[in-house]
Amino acid sequence: MHPVLKLVAQRIALGLLLLLAVSAVIFLGVEALPGDTAQAILGQSATPQALANLREKMGLDQPAMVRYFHWLGGILTGDLGKALTNGQDIAQAIGQRLGNTLFLAACAGAISVPLAILLGLVAARYNGRWPDKLISGITLSTISLPEFVAAYFVIYLLTQLIPIFNPVAMVFPGMGFWEKLHAVALPVIVLVLVVLAHMMRMTRAAILNVMQSAYIETAELKGLSPMQVIWRHAFPNAIAPIVSVVVLNLAYLVVGVVVVEVVFGYNALGQFLVDHVAKRDLPVVQAVGVIFAGVYISLNILADVIAIVANPRLRHPR
């Protein structure tokens, strides 16, 4: 087998094993949450017999191992079960909210990725000079702020001082694209501020590392301008680490936005998860956790595969 195909197969197999392990950790973690689902549904005045009957009806009286494999089998067949608190089909409830999460991530990624690469190229071009220091200083300052602090700062700035946006990101079915885009503008700004620095710094570092190569000096001796050297010769050869960090930040935009969604009241998967943790709705919490883990692990595998394929020593072994 070709070395590239072998490494790709190993990464995929490792990712599947990791997802299986994560599913077990999620199940056990949810099991360890304090409280009683039956008690939360029936209230404090419920009789012991009523609680026992409800636990039996929901399968909560079975051993944890049995419930885990039953739950895992349902996931493999596409059946996420039903919510304990309202009986709603979990897959259907998650579908709409996952779409909202992906829309938010796509908007933030469409702005942050090209902006980060552009700023990284400019910082590398003016390495050690004031544009580099200015870009690095601003991006590092934004990434140093906790998400909720950045969110409340943006809310204060763009809803109080400059009232052009609504502080609550309300979206609903039937909204037009531009209406939806305007509604999510504030959380998108916060997410761009959060992920911009990672990608910019990696782009800058990768470009500067490639600039030490002999062929870069040859390109400079041909009379190409510094920006032409960076764009035509340095950037294509630095693409592997840049793409890897971009993919990892895209994964964060999907699974790491719980705080931002809660602050802005955005009806997406993170808010959905928080609501059902409070209700101790175990099937919903477990399903959302597995979806988050699956997305993150899949994008990590994608980043690894891109890095493998972009490595010329693996593509053309001697």
pLDDT winner (highest mean) among 51-65, 87-101, 176-190, 278-292: 176-190
Residue 35 has a pLDDT of 67
Q: How far apart are CA 312 and CA 50, in angstroms?
A: 66
> Cα(274)–Cα(257) distance, rounded to whole angstroms?
12
Q: What is the pTM of this model?
A: 0.81
Locate all alpha helices (DSSP H) within the chain, ordered by sequence: 3-31, 37-42, 48-58, 64-76, 90-125, 130-144, 147-155, 177-183, 185-210, 214-221, 226-229, 235-237, 239-255, 258-264, 269-278, 282-309, 312-315
Domains plus CATH for the chain? 90-280 (1.10.3720.10)
Tokens found for residue 170: 């309300």
Confidence category of residue 313, pLDDT binned at 50, 70, 90: low
Other CB atoms within 10 Å distance of the CB of residue 190: 27
In the DSSP assignment, the letter for residue 89 is B
Residue 225 — pLDDT band, cuts 50, 70, 90? confident
Percent of the chain with pLDDT over 70: 92
Mean pLDDT over 248-268 rounds to: 85
If you average pLDDT over every residue of the chain, what do you get?
82
pLDDT tens, position by position, 101-152: 889 999 999 999 999 999 988 888 888 888 888 998 888 888 888 888 888 8
The 8-class DSSP code of residue 266 comes to: -
Which pairs count as long-range contacts for 80-89, CB under 8 Å and 24+ apart, including other chains? 80/283, 80/287, 81/283, 81/287, 82/283, 83/276, 83/281, 83/283, 83/284, 84/37, 84/41, 84/58, 84/281, 84/282, 84/283, 84/284, 85/40, 85/41, 85/276, 85/279, 85/281
Q: For 82, list phi and psi in degrees, rounded to 5.
A: -125, 150
Percent of the chain with pLDDT over 90: 7
> Which of 105-119, 179-193, 266-280 is least confident?
266-280
Span 1-11, mean pLDDT? 76
Q: Which residues pair with 49 in a beta bridge?
A: none
Confidence band, pLDDT 50/70/90 cuts, at residue 244: confident
